[in-house]
Chain A
Amino acid sequence: MNQRGLKTICLYLTAWFMAALFSLPLLMMISGSLKSAEQLTRDPYSLLPAEWNWSNFPEALSSMPFFVYLSNTLLLCFGCVIGTTLSCALAAYGLSRVSWPGRNWMFGLVIATMLLPWHITMIPRFVLLSELGLYNSLWAIVLPTFLGEAFFIFLLRQFFMTIPEQLLDAGRIDGLSHWGLFWKIVIPLSKPALATVALFQFVTTWNDFGGPLLYLNDPKKFPLAYGLERFVSSYGDQTHLLLAAATLFTIPMIIIFFLAQKTFIQGISTTGIKG
């Protein structure tokens, strides 16, 4: 019995220790963003700032066109989420609930593109999108999402497969075409999976750095992730401002995580298991 108690204590200690270790950098970021420059050099390690220096935030905000960046990020996120959800749902339906000769073969190709590193297609893609006149346009980043994304097609297909055939048959009796079945039966039933896809795409776009690096050259079109990197380049020594900017950039992600924790966790775990 005693040994068992000891074991439990050890478990608790380890759990607390690991949790503390993982959250420490984040806490440091937030506390650092509340310290003045002078405080940061004098006392970088304390978790609670001696005095709360809120002025870092307005200062960081005014050192870059934060709201312009934010609006671009949101526009990108909005466009990409619509694009991905729509195109991937369509493709996933075609690859799961329609039986046609090329289907499995096509699905194999979907999976294959997942293994293709982006480096290979980077240069020709750039050429193609600039030929289309999309260079320095948010569309260069949004448009490709309307053409499907293997990982999400895969995820949605797995989900669509679980919809009972009887439901679709009932729809067919009511005279629904595939188009009707897709919109009236499959989509309403798949909201959790679609939410997962939308959420993941949102996070991906929010974090996307390579796209803007390649395609955007006008600061009025920069999204936050890229704007923040630019900020790092020009305010390299102002750690307190960098941390404030990084905090501002991160907090929405944390909020979204807490709002949609279940969707996050379910999404990640299903993709892992079904693989």
Chain B
Amino acid sequence: MIRIRNGLLLIGFACLISGVLFGLFSKQHVTLPTGRQEVVFWHFWGGRDRSVVDHVVQQFNDSQNQFFVRAVAMPGNNLQAKLFLAVTGGDPPDLVNQDDPILADWAQRGVIQPIETIAKSEEIAKLDRWMFQPAQRLSKVNNRYYAICNGLDIRALYYNKTLLEQEGLQPPRTLQDLDQIAAKLTPDAATARAMGLYAYLPDSRRLWAWGYVFGGQFYDATKGLAQVDSGPIQQATRWMADYGLRYGPDNLAAFRQADQSLPGKPFPLLPIQPESMVGRYGLIMDGQWRTRDIVEFTSKRRERGLPCPEFGVCPLPSPTVPMVQGRSQAGWVNGNFFVVPAGANCPEGAWEFMQFWIGLNQPKWAAQTCAAGGWIPVSQQVVETETFQRFLIQNPLFATFVELANSPNQFPTPVVPGAAMFKRTVEAAAYEAMSHPEESVTPILKQANQRIQLRLERARSQ
């Protein structure tokens, strides 16, 4: 008994001492330079993006004598919940960078401030002329800026060029090409298992992209109606579910494991084994951040003197069958955006920093940031800078994404209150449809549509 007691006492004592010691230690954080106003800035970047962010912040701070930005990394999926808690808890940051579809909800509930209350009207007018259309779509609620988009996430189709060439195949120009490639490379699950590779598998979360490619719209803004069950979206869902028919829904699930197309998760297009020339897919839809993975992969292989496959990227191929009005250069666009929470202490400083980041006045700075982070600028003016052009020459794969960023056919998740549920429900419906590929997709989409409509109406009534 005595030994245990001593042990416990020892632990308690150790806690006390180390707790107090470390507590004192941790007090030494970055001190605010005198005469500067602090701007607390939350973002979710971790890993290697973090250093790019820190660099922007440092550059900004060096260029300033009025404001001082303190960046706080908040990685994780539920940043929006964190921000909401902070606003209601009474201790919000001054600026948040986000990429979840919550803008309209926050605007409606007064969690965030409209940008025009902070910015001058001529600055707002400049934004309208200056910013890429998809970026504006991501920044506005009911035609008012509630956010400033600072980077676009565009998705396109990556492919293993070497593999396609070996089989005498061309990169797909139409959706039918894509289907043929799949049918030729891996006609069924058994072949795919034997090869350790699937030519292409649709990801249920990407019904958003394919819906737009098939010419659909998930939401009719003029009528305020969800139309998830409309013709083009049904066709897109059917097309995705047909891959479930081909390979069996369970095999789809196993292979989808690392598909979480997030930076930080491995890119399944790349071979894992040193001697292998193929990854787990022949073609895969993913975002522009993967070009960096490919560059790193290639240089690593070259360094070790290993053979290296070539990769390519093309816009999502659109269907050319009768009855379908497909869109070219289309897709689902998302992006990072800044918002200023209600109750922020220093909105002026936040606005200064936003302008600095997107390069509204000095595109050169923004070009450097975008090149360093591998981010898509939000304005043609930044794209045209010398710095960024040089980056594009070094990263030819990236150019496709930049072109798509200026396409009018890139649509985000509808910016309406309830968008998070909207997005989730569409994805869940696609998942459901792909898990039961033998069934009709219509009732699944109809049910999803009803629930979304209810949610939208409830949001409107608030």
Contacts and interface: CB of A to CB of B under 8 A. Distances in A.
Q: Do chains A and B touch in the complex (CB under 8 A)?
A: yes
Contacts of B77: 233
B264 A133 contact: no
A229 B272 CA distance: 27
B408 interface: no
Nearest to A252: B11
Interface in A206-248: 214-215, 217-220, 229-230, 233-237
Contacts of B11: 202, 256, 259-260
Given A198-B8, A263-B4, A75 B23 contact: yes
Given A234-B47, A236-B262, A68 B22 contact: yes
Given A71-B22, A71-B26, A234 B264 contact: yes
B266 interface: yes
Contacts, number: 118
Contacts of A78: 12, 15-16, 19
Contact of A130 (B10, B18, B22, B88): B88
A65 B47 CA distance: 14
Contacts of B265: 236-237
Contact of B8 (A70, A72, A195): A195
B393 interface: no
Contacts of A77: 15, 19
Contacts of B15: 74, 77-78, 81, 202
B196 interface: no
A126 interface: yes
A41 interface: yes
Contact of A199 (B1, B8, B25, B86): B8
A14 B308 CA distance: 50
Nearest to A73: B19
B18 A219 contact: no
A67 interface: yes
A127 to B, nearest CB: 8
Interface stretch (B68-76, B421-429, B453-461): B68-76
Given A229-B76, A230-B76, A234-B264, A126 B5 contact: no
A55 to B, nearest CB: 18
Interface in B72-119: 72-77, 82, 85-86, 88-91, 93
Given A71-B25, A136-B89, A260 B19 contact: no
Contacts of A72: 22-23, 26
Nearest to B6: A259
B21 interface: yes
A173 to B, nearest CB: 29
B18 A71 contact: yes
Contacts of B47: 234-235
A77 B23 CA distance: 13
Nearest to A38: B274
A19 B434 CA distance: 41
Interface in B239-257: none
A259 B7 CA distance: 6
A262 interface: yes
Interface string B305-337: 000000000000000000000000000000000
A249 interface: no
B29 interface: yes
A194 to B, nearest CB: 9
Contact of B85 (A41, A75, A214, A237): A214
Q: Chain B, interface size: which category?
A: 35 or more
Interface residues of A, number: 42
Given A71-B18, A235-B46, A130 B8 contact: no
B23 A230 contact: no
A191 B5 contact: yes
Indicate the member of B8, B10, B16, B260 with the most A CB atoms within 10 Å. Answer: B8
Contacts of A41: 272
Nearest to B46: A234
B75 A230 contact: yes
Contact of B29 (A220, A230, A260, A263): A220
A210 B369 CA distance: 36
Contacts of A182: none
B76 A74 contact: no
Nearest to B91: A136
Interface string B258-277: 00101011100000100000
Contacts of B29: 220
A194 B7 CA distance: 14
A71 B7 CA distance: 20
Contacts of B82: 217
Interface in A120-179: 126-127, 130, 133, 135-136
Contacts of B266: 237
Contacts of B260: 236
A192 interface: yes
Interface in B37-71: 45-47, 50
A77 B1 CA distance: 23
Given A41-B272, A136-B86, A262 B73 contact: no
Contacts of B21: 71
Contacts of B90: 130, 133, 135
Interface string A47-71: 0000000000000000001011011
A25 to B, nearest CB: 19
A215 B82 CA distance: 9
B91 A217 contact: yes
Contacts of B88: 126-127, 130
Contacts of B76: 229-230, 233-234
B22 A74 contact: yes
Nearest to B264: A236
Nearest to B262: A236
A68 B28 CA distance: 11
A202 B29 CA distance: 28
Interface of A: 41, 65, 67-68, 70-72, 74-75, 77-78, 81, 126-127, 130, 133, 135-136, 191-192, 195, 198-199, 202, 214-215, 217-220, 229-230, 233-237, 256, 259-260, 262-263
13 contacts: A68-B26, A71-B19, A71-B21, A72-B23, A78-B19, A81-B15, A126-B88, A130-B88, A233-B77, A236-B260, A236-B264, A260-B8, A263-B4
Given A236-B265, A259-B8, 11 more contacts: A71-B25, A72-B26, A74-B15, A135-B86, A136-B86, A195-B5, A217-B86, A217-B93, A234-B47, A237-B265, A237-B266
Q: What 7 pairs across the A-B complex have the smallest Cβ distances?
A: A234-B46, A71-B22, A135-B89, A234-B75, A74-B19, A259-B7, A233-B76
